[in-house]
Amino acid sequence: MLSLNRRFVLLAPLALAACGFQPVYGPDGNGTALQNRVLVDEQDTREGYVLVREIEERLGRSATPAYGLALNISTVEESLATDLEGNTRRFNLIGTVDYTLRNLATGQIVTSGKVDNFTGYSATGTTVATLAGEQDAQVRLMTILSDQIVTRLYAADLG
């Protein structure tokens, strides 16, 4: 049994290499190619600010960018739960981001796509608590969407 495990450990890297696996932060990986090289377009909303901040936290802030990242953010709030008096007690915040990564030297689009997700918050407390819950849901949503965008950028063919 021990020799089977040892063989598996020795052969696993060969199997991964054969299927095209490449470490993101390896010498030729997208993590290395994008780190501190992406300029994210300015956003003019609180949600946009949070999204840009989260992406820059993952990719770094570039002094000499090679790529530009355009973002188009849209969010919708849906009422979920109402009480007997008709007051909404729970909300879903649904967010969608269309993104486009372009090569700044050539102007060519390297990759583009769309990500979406949702978070929820409760409106059962005071007005201040509800507002705090909404703002927290916005931050959580933008964090989730930034993770999805960066993951897709790492998986893209940067050519």
99-114 burial by CB neighbour count: b if 16+ within 10 A, else e?
bebbeeeeeeebbeee
Does residue 101 contact residue 68 with C-beta atoms inside 8 Å?
A: yes
pLDDT, tens digit, 9 for 90 and up, residues 34-72: 889 999 999 999 999 999 999 999 999 988 999 999 999
pLDDT, tens digit, 9 for 90 and up, residues 132-149: 999 999 999 999 999 999
pLDDT of residue 33: 76
pLDDT of residue 20: 61
Copy the structure tokens of residue 16. 């991964």
Domain range annotation of the chain:
2-155
Instruction: Name the DSSP letter for residue 96.
Output: E
The reply to whether CATH 3.30.160.150 applies to domain 2-155 is yes
